[in-house]
Amino acid sequence: MSDEKKFEPKIIGFLCNWCSYAAADLAGVSRIQYPPNIIIIRVMCSGRIDPSFILEAFKDGADGVLVAGCHLPSDCHYISGNFKALRRVTLLKKVLRDFGIEPERLRLEWLSASEGDRFAAIVRDMVEEIKKLGPNPLKAKEVEA
């Protein structure tokens, strides 16, 4: 791979089955175009997302991580999993810098099943933002070493 090649961020998205994954599907059926930088990992609930999954993704070179769940306060299919995701991601963001990762690389969003357009907009926006930040610093270090 040539160095000249433009930086294309790799983003991992942890999406809950009921609202946010459905929103991503809706973007598809509505043919709303967005950049192909995100790979979605489906979980049943945003409350399933262990902070260690996110750290692991960054450790393996993800340039960004999106966590998405059902809208607060009460859209969660499992009653309150979204609140748990909120707490965990908020805390993780606070310590992310200690690991050498800009907190902006981690995003938490609430998406309902009818928000296909908003899902696409979020991905577009995230890709732009991360392009400005550049590649995951951990990955850069690895290459140097």
Q: Rounded to an integer, what distance in angstroms lies between the CA atom of residue 115 and that of residue 142?
A: 38
Binding part of the chain for other proteins, among 50-58, 92-100, 102-110, 125-133 by CB under 8 A, reads 50-58
Binding part of the chain for other proteins, among 24-32, 89-97, 101-109, 126-134 by CB under 8 A, reads 24-32
Joined together, the tokens standing for residue 36 give 């192909």
Q: Rounded to an integer, what distance in angstroms lies between the CA atom of residue 81 and that of residue 95?
A: 22
Q: Which of 7, 100, 114, 125 binds other proteins (CB under 8 A)?
A: 114
CB of 84 to other proteins, least distance (A): 5
User: How does DSSP classify residue 97?
Assistant: G
Report the phi/psi class of residue 61: left, alpha or beta, with left for phi > 0 and alpha for psi in -120 to 50: left
3-state secondary structure (DSSP) of residue 118: helix
Residues that bind other proteins (CB under 8 A): 1, 10, 12, 14, 17-19, 21-22, 24-25, 27-36, 39-45, 47-53, 56-57, 60-62, 74-81, 84, 88, 112-114, 120, 139, 142
